[in-house]
Amino acid sequence: MADSPRIGVLTSGGDAPGMNAAVRAITRSALHRDAEVYAIHEGWQGAVDGGDHIRRLGWDDVSGILNKGGTVIGTARSDAFRSRDGQRRAVANLVARGIDRLIVIGGDGSLTGTRALRLAWADLLADCVASGEVTPQQAAAHPTLRVVGLVGSIDNDMVGTDMTIGTDSALHRITEAIDAISSTAESHQRTFIVEVMGRHCGYLALMSAIAGGADYTFLPESPPRDGWEDRMVEVLARGVEAGRRDSILVVAEGARDRGGEPITVERVHQALLERTGEDARITILGHVQRGGKPSAYDRWMATVTGVEAVRQVLDGDADSEPLLVGMHRDQVVTRPLLEAVADTRAVAQHISQGDFDHAVAARGRGFEQMIDIYRVLSEARPSVLEGVRPRRIAVMHAGALAPGMNQIARVAVRAGIDRGHQMLAVRGGVPGLVSGHIDPVSWADAEGMAHTGGADLGTRRYVPSETDLYAMARQLEDHDVDALLVAGGYHAYRTVAILEAERRRYPAFDIPVALLPASIDNNLPSWPMAVGADTALNTVVDSIDMVRMSASASRRAFVVETMGRGCGFLPLMGGIAGGAERVYLPEEGITLAGLADDVAAMVDAFAGGRNFYLAVIGEDASEYYTTDVLRRLFEAEGHGQFSVRQAVVGHVQQGGVPTPFDRINATRLAYSAVLELDRQLEAGATAYVAASSESPTLFAPLRDVVDGMDWDQQRPVEQWWLGLREIFAQLSSRPRG
């Protein structure tokens, strides 16, 4: 291994949940590439200090860290590294250990400093040779420094990646707090002001306000206009008049007014007190937003980006510009680091110069749209006046329950009312439409649905029969339904496809219809993450964490069964985020020969000192080799070396409070669906459309979407997550030799 490439990995700046998942992925992926990995402890200060701060990592050194918050290799801000002398010492310490490749996990400051070191590497190396700290031979062997960056920041403030490591976990902490505050605020009819992190970026404030159903928010990129105090009071008063019992205001720590003066929680409190006499309560969440275990998303996202970082730092051109590895639409992407940092810092410059339109635009179209959506949701009056005959849009769920369905209904109702339409609720899914359980719904009827699980409108697994179609058509006619929004899984897609096919026989079906994916199985085409899938995945990962703790005092193997039917999303992603050694997917099936290899690997692992072994299986992975059969087989072949237990996660995957990701996903989909139906109604069109991430409007013709569905297996033909099987295989099994 003397000639093996050596990679240094460090975490720098503020800690973020998911950093440990990245360190684990980098270490194990590099070992599979016959590279050595060195942890640089305490960030750049550790590189400057050298010695025991730079230590080699082995396979077992990163075991058991996937579910831990913070960073096990430490982080610190280093004044010494900002000086040339400190950088020279860092170079000397790295070269002394043969390290000329770096993967840095941190914010824009850490990544900028890393790039500066890379540019000055040759000069600093010459200084080290002159001082005798590095030999000429060592300098010749390491003439350049290769750098790849991963963004670890809860603020989601880096341009060039949809999400930064730690953001999703921070949103979990914030929305949990807002949900808890909402219950006590509603009980006492009080107003609460919540401060969240975000000095130059309002992502956490905006998204937590949407996910938590807050009533007003203040963002650094979009300061309120003069007179905001009166405007705020007016908006809150209209909400109370419409039936709201509580008011929640979310303030980003870096919020300012148009004159550049800070808008603090104390300032907001004083404005409310002077204008309403109400003594609002203040909650500053502080560093609790950084703490806690990482969410499922932060675990698997940090994992896949960590693996890509290793590939780039080993295979990339030594003279190329350092790269940033990030995510876009659940796919790994790379971008020049300098460009990403420059674009990120430009946002702060726009804000300081009062150019707020460019500041918002620089965050991306998605951020802009979510600001528009938030304003619609928080207002208690339509922005479009009702016409002579307002159009009637019905909202319906179909198929199995998925967390986030209530948020879809809430957003659809309020967005429709904002556009001047009359909104209707179909109660009880497809059977409710057959029997005519259709009621008008108001803005206030949607209050409180943002953070509730279940589906208040009701839903059922039901595909209409031939005899149902006539009744459904009559109900649509009798209730003057002009357009229909349907959210659900496999049964919803089947139902809407039938309605489109029967439009010639039943003219009542010849109306605009928008179809949204809501399924914990994530088994629907053209949309990467169905509403409900993230919540179910977090439930699976939480269950795995608890199983792991239950086995801490004994030598034990667990077989954890997830839902998913014919789709392997939950078992595969649960296995990656939960740190499983083996996953069994319905797409691959299970063979006796494969099980023999798995048993041998399990026995060998326990013989080598392992105390815990985890296998995750999808519920329909095999008709014959069921979870119980696997448990018995593993137990029998263990011959008493270890015990084996099974855990069937079951229907708790469908329940619970939807995650922030699912609430935000539901919000974007439902709002876009109402805009699409509104556009069609205005144009006199009657198209059937379904959610599609490839379309600028987020919708494509239904027939184009369902062409990507494997109806027999109840899963998409193309499944993006199957591309992660190789990553799972790398990280779950030691390299041979």
| pTM (predicted TM-score) | 0.95
Q: Is 162 a catalytic residue?
A: no
**DSSP assignment, residue 601?**
H
Residue type, 692: S
Within a 10 A sphere around the Cβ of 320, how many other Cβ atoms?
A: 12
Q: Exposure pattern of 524-548 as b/e (b: 16+ CB <10 Å)?
A: bbbbbbbbbbbbbbbbbbbbbbebb
Confidence of residue 2 (pLDDT cuts 50, 70, 90): very low
Output the pLDDT for position 160. Answer: 87
Across the range 621-632, mean pLDDT stands at: 96
| Range with lowest mean pLDDT among 187-196, 477-486, 586-595 | 187-196
Confidence of residue 241 (pLDDT cuts 50, 70, 90): confident
Residue type, 303: T
Residue 498 pLDDT more than 50? yes
Helix (H) or strand (E) holding 699: strand 699-701
Interatomic CA distance for residues 725 and 716, integer angstroms:
17
Within a 10 A sphere around the Cβ of 35, how many other Cβ atoms?
A: 19
Confidence of residue 1 (pLDDT cuts 50, 70, 90): very low
**26 burial level (CB within 10 Å; 0-12, 13-18, 19+):** buried
Catalytic residue among 49, 100, 127, 155: 155
> Rounded to 5, what percent of the chain is helix, strand, coil?
45, 15, 35
Output the pLDDT for position 551. Answer: 81
Residue type, 238: R
> Per DSSP, which regions of 427-548 are E strands?
438-441, 483-488, 513-517
Interatomic CA distance for residues 650 and 353, integer angstroms:
54
Across the range 136-146, mean pLDDT stands at: 94
What's the Cα-to-Cα distance from 254 to each of 164, 171, 219, 263, 299, rounded to whole Å?
A: 19, 17, 7, 8, 28
**DSSP assignment, residue 518?**
B
Output the pLDDT for position 546. Answer: 94
Q: What percent of the chain has pLDDT over 70?
A: 98
Lookup: tokens for 324: 């940033």
Axis-axis angle for helices 660-683, 365-378 (nearest 10): 80
**DSSP assignment, residue 294?**
P
Question: Closest Cα partner for 368 from 347, 383, 346?
Answer: 347
Output the pLDDT for position 97. Answer: 95
Residue 388 pLDDT more than 60? no
Within a 10 A sphere around the Cβ of 388, how many other Cβ atoms?
A: 4
- Residues contacting 714, CB < 8 A, separation 6+: 490, 521, 523, 565, 566, 567
**DSSP assignment, residue 655?**
-
Across the range 683-696, mean pLDDT stands at: 96
Residue 310 pLDDT more than 80? yes
Please write down the HEC assignment for all residues of 665-690: HHHHHHHHHHHHHHHHHHHCCCCEEE
What average pLDDT does the structure give for the chain?
93
Find the radius of gyration of the CA atoms of the chain.
27
Output the pLDDT for position 174. Answer: 96
∠ CA 182-184-188 to the nearest 5 degrees?
115
| Range with lowest mean pLDDT among 100-114, 386-400, 693-707 | 386-400
* DSSP per residue, 125-183: HHHHHHHTSS-HHHHHH----EEEEEEB-TT---TTSS--BTHHHHHHHHHHHHHHHHH
Residue type, 2: A
* DSSP per residue, 443-466: TGGGTT-TT--S-TT--------H
Report how many helices (DSSP H) and strands (DSSP E) the chain contains, helices first. 24, 24
Interatomic CA distance for residues 263 and 268, integer angstroms:
7
Lookup: tokens for 403: 């967390």
CB 2 within 8 A of CB 85: no
Q: Which contacts qualify for 313-321: CB closer than 8 Å, 24 or more apart?
A: 313/7, 313/101, 313/102, 313/103, 313/146, 313/147, 313/148, 314/5, 314/7, 314/30, 314/33, 314/35, 314/101, 316/146, 316/148, 318/144, 318/146, 319/144
Tens digits of residue pLDDT in 102-113: 999 998 888 888
Question: Closest Cα partner for 418 from 385, 370, 374?
Answer: 385
Across the range 317-339, mean pLDDT stands at: 90
